[in-house]
Amino acid sequence: MVNKGVKATHMVLLIIAAVSLFLMSRINYLLFHLVIEGFSILVAVLIYVLALKTHRYSKNDYLTFVGIAYLFIGIVDFFHLISYDGMGVFSGLGPDPPTQLWIIARFLQAVSFVLAPAYLSRNLPYTATVLLYGLITGAGLISVLWLRVFPACFVAGRGLTGFKVIGEFIICALIAAGIWLLYNNSSLLEENIYKMMVISMIITIISELSFTLYSDVYGAMNFLGHVLKAVSFIIIYNGVIKVGIENPYDFIFRELKASSSTDYLTGLHNRDGFYEKVEKLAKLAMEKDTCVGILLVDFDNFKKMNDSYGHLFGDEVLKKFGILIRDIIRKEDIVCRFGGDEFILLTTAAEDELGKIKERLTGRVEEWIKSDERLRGLGLSMGLAVCKPGQELNIERLIEKADRDMYRNKKGKPGNGDELSEYFLS
């Protein structure tokens, strides 16, 4: 409910911003351009800062490369902003230089989209990348603002030149190639980030196409192109936040949750983890209409072995037993170290399988004990209890019954394993 409210609020704010920007562009286009481009430049710098500072958590060279690219795209866009006709920073430039700077920034952006997927599977040479982008950016700025040798993109009174229009189509083709390359490597990128990047690139293509249609640098298509460009920047910014900030926090939370429900020694569920999983398994048993069986396992003479060979050896025995019991269970079964040298296996196996699981475990443990002289005095006592299909699962009663059966076995008075009915809860 909260998420829906947040989304609705964001939508309202987006509509208000769009209407405000449109009205601003009608009243004072220069002010609109200052606001929208200034905002885009800020977002570009933030993309770089966040991608760089969160790299140690995200380990994502793809987004770091995108961040570097957007830093230099933002630098070119800054000069595009201050050189815009009417800003008064550079005198006598006219409408062509800012258009030339725009096309340089977009070429830089498009080529970056093509190159970025390579860093999903290889390390990014950070210093070399920054130097290369710095050289290209510097050369572009010098060619437009000082040497004036860059091809004309806009002629006052005539509109866009052929170079500008063809350049925009080439940019669109490069971005489309970037989408295709990203698609081919999508398995190496988180699905949400992949979608964000593709959406951003598609919006960038639409933005660039709108820039092939204007004849007035203060016109409606120019307005649309600038707004769409800002939207595409915001989407990438959100992607960097998700990978660099949200995902690491989610990972830390999952790790903390897992550590609180996992036995540190064996990697099995601990007591808390066991109880967390019981409800899910009970639901599965209800859906399949199967019984729920519990096997309680306790080592015999474990303390004596610990005293003889030390606690480190005892820990190794518990670890190996954890691996052994994991090997004989199914994916949906639950196994936990309940405490000390006591383990519990909870399963939804069919009735005739429960006894077989017990036999398999006994056989594997006997083989293991024979393989190591130090384990010769070790034994296992096991207790079995079963909740019938359709019967309400009372896990405490089930453990209690299995516990009684286990201690009966310890005293050398085992039940008749061929008669499973004696293990059913009453």
Say how many Å lie between the first and final Cα of the chain, rounded.
44
Could you report the per-residue pLDDT of 270-281, keeping only the tens digit for each?
Answer: 888 888 787 777
CA distance 403 to 395: 12
Helical axes 126-145 vs 61-82, angle rounded to 10°: 20
What are the DSSP calls for 110-158, one per residue? HHHHHHGGGGGSS---HHHHHHHHHHHHHHHHHHHHTS--SPP-EETTT
User: How does 338-372 read in b/e, with b if 16+ C-beta sit within 10 Å?
Assistant: beebbbbbbbbbebebbbebbeebeeebeeebeee
Q: Which domains does the chain have, with CATH numbers?
A: 2-259 (1.20.1070), 271-423 (3.30.70.270)
Number of H helices, E strands in the chain: 15, 6
pTM (predicted TM-score)? 0.62
Q: What is the mean pLDDT of residues 13-17?
A: 84
Q: How many CB atoms lie within 10 A of CB 21?
A: 18
What are the DSSP calls for 166-194, one per residue? HHHHHHHHHHHHHHHHHHHTGGGS-HHHH
As given in the structure block, the two tokens for residue 102 are 């725009």
Q: How many CB atoms lie within 10 A of CB 216?
A: 11
Residue 259: pLDDT over 50: yes
Could you report the per-residue pLDDT of 357-393, keeping only the tens digit for each?
Answer: 888 888 888 888 888 888 888 888 888 888 877 777 7
- The confidence score (pLDDT) of residue 129 equals 97
CA distance 67 to 237: 9
- The confidence score (pLDDT) of residue 286 equals 74
CA distance 73 to 249: 29
